[in-house]
Chains A and B, each alone.
Chain A
């Protein structure tokens, strides 16, 4: 794919997060996150489970309401009660760990419904765009299938096509391959890689360290609700400077290897 999104290059940063806090009851999950994403940038967020990385992503388009802090998304202040969230969300695609396809619609129907209802596109235009995107993710021959008849990898690719059909300026991925059988992960990652190479702005919460290293421009390591370390992906994954990042990456990349020095250590929270 060549650059499909040339008009998005030279604008102000689409995502600017400042001092973001989020608590569930007494449990503070995010403890002050600052993050700016430039147009065309691909940012991966890694970290142990419970580190707040999914919550961070869900705060970006306000699926979770932040407790404190500000989120600028495509120039709109998402925490301002006067901002029409639906309007902003239209331009921000989201892909979920559990796909969340609409089971009562075909793959094509999943990609058409929001185009018709939200963007008010004509039926023929919406179908044309949906078909184009389903072909883009390699499912041109599965358009009339219901989600239950598709494999997990195929469902997730439909979910990506559904998001792309809204012509998003930013794509958010919440552990898109975590629920997939290992042999199906590759197809989904390949689609995401194509998107990244085509210039899409992406924030990807993931456990796929090799995808982060090879595809993303920048990687963020989160632990305990804060950003512990961030930097160019190759540097962060191959030569992390923080101790916590080193321990995490060692565990993820080589789960069976336990160093003697680690055995006596207490777990980082």
Chain B
């Protein structure tokens, strides 16, 4: 052991890595040996329970999740662009937009959904059309709009000021400049953070249960929880997790390709 202090740092690092691998392998072996695999399979990966969920997990639950997500995302993105432009423009409307953004970024989405579903009807005697899902989509639109507004604002401001100057020097109005020159370039910049926003929104639809659903309106997580309690088995949760992943994983891949396609330096 007396050579140890004289070892090169790279050699020591290699020894350290080997040691940690060894520990990892030992832990893995212990887990494999001592785990009750039959029990785990029965509780989490039960084929009978999984078969019962087929095909409603896709035709009802996943479909509803996608409808809620995509609708709120589209409406929320439009709201985000409006809020971002107002905030950049400034003035009283800019202040109002900033306040709106700070309010709905600052409170939990669950509270916003609850407010849309119950507080507004009680306070104003006005039921948001579409029942539980309608109120939920409205709330998620507002939440997404508030979050994405900051993304869009950063995207707009990342476009070189020279672009606006060139457009204005051609006689384009500020609106035309925004629509034809700045926003298309800002969109390319915001694709990665907006993808992130979409994935977060997809998972936030699991909060919509507080708004109340009819059976045919249930989204993935509510559906999974119901199946969990009726079957007394955890397999539905694994299935639901897989259902979320079959949306998010291809999405990430698609967006990566889209980004490459939109790259002006391609």
Contact = CB atoms under 8 A, between A and B. Distances in A.
Interface of A: 61, 63, 86-94, 96, 98, 100-104, 113-114, 117-118, 146-148, 159, 162-163, 166, 172
SS of B interface (majority): helix
Interface in B228-266: 264-265
B169 A118 contact: no
A114 B264 contact: no
B264 A94 contact: no
A118 B163 contact: no
Contacts of A162: 170
A206 B171 CA distance: 24
Interface in B135-171: 160, 162-163, 165-171
Contacts of A146: 264
B170 A63 contact: no
B169 A61 contact: yes
12 contacts: A63-B169, A86-B171, A86-B172, A87-B171, A89-B170, A100-B160, A100-B162, A102-B166, A104-B184, A104-B188, A162-B170, A163-B170
B251 to A, nearest CB: 23
A61 to B, nearest CB: 6
Given A63-B169, A94-B169, A117 B162 contact: no
Contact of B165 (A90, A100, A163): A100
Contacts of B180: 113, 117
Given A90-B171, A102-B163, A163-B169, 10 more contacts: A87-B171, A89-B168, A89-B171, A91-B171, A92-B169, A94-B169, A104-B184, A104-B185, A114-B170, A117-B172
A207 to B, nearest CB: 19
Interface of B: 160, 162-163, 165-173, 176, 180-181, 184-185, 188, 264-265
Nearest to A86: B171
A90 B172 CA distance: 8
Nearest to B174: A86
B171 A114 contact: yes
Contacts of B181: 102, 113
B250 to A, nearest CB: 26
Given A104-B264, A146-B264, A96 B165 contact: yes
Contacts of B169: 61, 63, 89, 92-94, 163, 172
A114 B265 contact: no
Contacts of B171: 86-91, 114, 118, 166
A93 B171 CA distance: 9
Nearest to A94: B169
Nearest to A117: B176
Nearest to A116: B180
A176 to B, nearest CB: 13
Given A100-B165, A104-B264, A146-B264, A118 B160 contact: no
A65 B43 CA distance: 72
Contacts of B184: 104
B175 to A, nearest CB: 10
A98 B160 CA distance: 11
B170 A103 contact: no
A146 B8 CA distance: 52
Given A100-B160, A100-B166, A86 B173 contact: yes
B184 to A, nearest CB: 5
Contacts of B170: 89-90, 113-114, 118, 162-163, 166
B123 to A, nearest CB: 44
A101 B171 CA distance: 15
B156 to A, nearest CB: 14
